[in-house]
Chains A and B, each alone.
Chain A
Amino acid sequence: MKKPKRLKITETLGFLTLRLCMACVAMILIVIFYDIITKGAGVISWDFLTKPPVDGMTKGGIFPAIVGTFFTTIITALLSVPLGMGCAIYLNEYAKDDGLTRFIRMSIRNLSGVPSIVYGLFGVALFVEACHFGTSILAAGSTLGLMTLPLTITASEEALKTVPRAYREGSLALGATKWQAIWTNVLPYAVPGMLTGTILGLSRAAGETAPILFTGAAFFLPDIPNSILSQFMALPYHLYIMSTQHHNIELVRPIAYGTALVLIVLIFSMNLMAIIIRYHLRKKGIAHG
């Protein structure tokens, strides 16, 4: 009767350790939130959300940065969603398992490991210079789009894999062409799952600073951008400026926290949207991912 008792203790201890790990992670998140909310909530007001910065960015709001991040994220989505989904469809439905496919997959894996600052430099070379986009929303959004591409592809492929093979075969057996089978009987069940992964990727992109640093984000602009070829202010970059580059960092600290709060709320609501989509799908019994 000795052994079971020891086993029980081991189990209790093991369980406790795991719980502690979990509690640590939750704590970190709670502390970050608490810190940002207590220090940032005070400056949030209608004016803060709808007015540009004034008086050497010591007063006013962050409206141009919100608009900048919004439109950059749209460009990011326009680039990475169709390209990523297309790539995933090709890889999952059409590609033969040969050398070329393996090479493509390897490239995607490696792309997701490239540091974001390197994407920034690449964005300068490709979009700002070679494509003549200049430093602009278009160049920065495209750079972020490239950066999220590996995630979009992987998530979309996972979503395609959850669609049972029986749907494809059943469709083909009824005389559908391969494309018809994919379009009418695979994609409708995969797209929501694809969107979930894609939104998570976009929310990551929205919070990035390095890739937009050289490709279009501006230190200060009094007005909101008037085209996608304009420079822009962005929330993460504004936060970086306010906390490290401003001539009076102590004075603008509340504004920095307010910016952080807005950014984090934006990103969390994107993630929440992804979770809600997934939840609805699970209920319908389509997505499993």
Chain B
Amino acid sequence: MANNIRMKAEHVDFYYGSNQTLKDITLDIYDHAVTAIIGPSGCGKSTFIRLLNRMNELVPNSKLEGVISIDGESIVAEHMDPVDLRRKVGMVFQKPNPFPKSIFENIAYGLKVNGQKDKGLIEQRVILSLKKAALWDEVKDRLHDSALRLSGGQQQRLCIARCLAIEPEVILFDEPCASLDPISTSKVEALILELKKDYTIVIVTHNMQQAARVSDFTGFFYMGELIEFDKTEVIFTRPKDKRTEDYITGRFG
């Protein structure tokens, strides 16, 4: 796979207060590929992907060292506004977090806060996003119902649609299936594979089979360190580090 590098983390250290959560992380995120981040609970996976859209700078007393860049530019560069970055690097959270608004308004929300006033265009974009997120057929007759009435799996696809509506280039998924049933999970996984054609994807997952199924590259995090990063097939068939092997064979985690 001859992909270009889209985002890059170089020697990233991250601290919550005085606790160092990430240690010297260096990792490339390739364009139009799915990069999976795996590792046991508490190893810093969420912390890492929340750095990629500067979500973690909202945490008081946190500190980032090292460089994270997108298209060769540091994401904390002077002219790089976190708001612009987050439009380019979208995020889907672990727990589906639809807003207590209608399905339509949930998806229109991102467009509206980004200054889109053209009603026709908003409507077009809402429909397109729902179609892309494979939710359209299920909700087309009740766009103005509350999003809170959807099932968990539908809510998560709604959150994905909401993210797609602002046309990001990179999408970060933080354990998107953690609270979903197996059927919803397979729908979301199919969706991620579909999205790979148009987007660069980073997915944190707890589930090794999921990483194997959807990703092209996999990074194994352990206690704040990136133990190993390689093509997914390599990680799952010929891991170089003993700890990676132990983890993927289920000996701990």
Q: Of A167, A170, A172, A184, which contacts B58 at CB under 8 A?
A: A172
Q: Mark B123-144, 1 if CB is under 8 A from A, else 0.
A: 0000000000000000000000
Complex Cα gap A172–B99 (Å): 13
Q: For chain A, residues 145 to 187, give those with C-beta under 8 angstroms from any C-beta of chain B.
A: 164, 166-167, 169-177, 180-181, 184-185
B45 interface residue per 8 A CB criterion:
no
A97 interface residue per 8 A CB criterion:
yes
B95 interface residue per 8 A CB criterion:
yes
Complex Cα gap A174–B166 (Å): 7
| B159 contact set on A, CB distance < 8 A | 170
Q: Are A175 and B99 in contact (CB under 8 A)?
A: no
- In the assembled complex, the CB of A186 is this many whole angstroms from the nearest CB of chain B, namely 10
A184's nearest neighbour on chain B, judged by CB, is B113
Q: Are B166 and A175 in contact (CB under 8 A)?
A: yes
Q: Are A170 and B100 in contact (CB under 8 A)?
A: no
Complex Cα gap A41–B211 (Å): 76
Contact A175/B97 with A97-B60, A169-B55, A184-B109 known, Cβ cut-off 8 Å: no
Q: Of B55, B60, B87, B113, which contacts A96 at CB under 8 A?
A: B60
Q: Mark B60-97, 1 if CB is under 8 A from A, else 0.
A: 10000000000000000000000110110011010101
B37 interface residue per 8 A CB criterion:
no
| B148 contact set on A, CB distance < 8 A | 285
A173's nearest neighbour on chain B, judged by CB, is B91
- In the assembled complex, the CB of B177 is this many whole angstroms from the nearest CB of chain A, namely 17
Secondary structure dominating the interface of A: helix
Q: Are B99 and A170 in contact (CB under 8 A)?
A: yes
Complex Cα gap A56–B170 (Å): 80
B179 interface residue per 8 A CB criterion:
no
- In the assembled complex, the CB of B17 is this many whole angstroms from the nearest CB of chain A, namely 11
Q: Are A173 and B99 in contact (CB under 8 A)?
A: no
| A177 contact set on B, CB distance < 8 A | 83, 113
A37 interface residue per 8 A CB criterion:
no
Contact A175/B87 with A96-B60, A169-B97, A286-B100 known, Cβ cut-off 8 Å: yes
B110 interface residue per 8 A CB criterion:
yes
A189 interface residue per 8 A CB criterion:
yes
Q: Of A171, A285, A286, which contacts B113 at CB under 8 A?
A: A171
Q: Are B95 and A171 in contact (CB under 8 A)?
A: no
Complex Cα gap A177–B114 (Å): 9
Q: Are A167 and B114 in contact (CB under 8 A)?
A: no
Q: Are B93 and A170 in contact (CB under 8 A)?
A: yes
- In the assembled complex, the CB of A51 is this many whole angstroms from the nearest CB of chain B, namely 49
Most buried by A among B93, B100, B163: B100
Q: Are B114 and A173 in contact (CB under 8 A)?
A: no
| A284 contact set on B, CB distance < 8 A | 100
Q: Mark B95-115, 1 if CB is under 8 A from A, else 0.
A: 101011000000001101110
17 more contacts with CB within 8 A, not counting A169-B93, A184-B113, are A169-B58, A169-B97, A170-B93, A170-B99, A171-B99, A174-B86, A174-B90, A174-B109, A174-B114, A174-B162, A175-B87, A175-B113, A176-B114, A180-B113, A184-B112, A285-B100, A286-B100
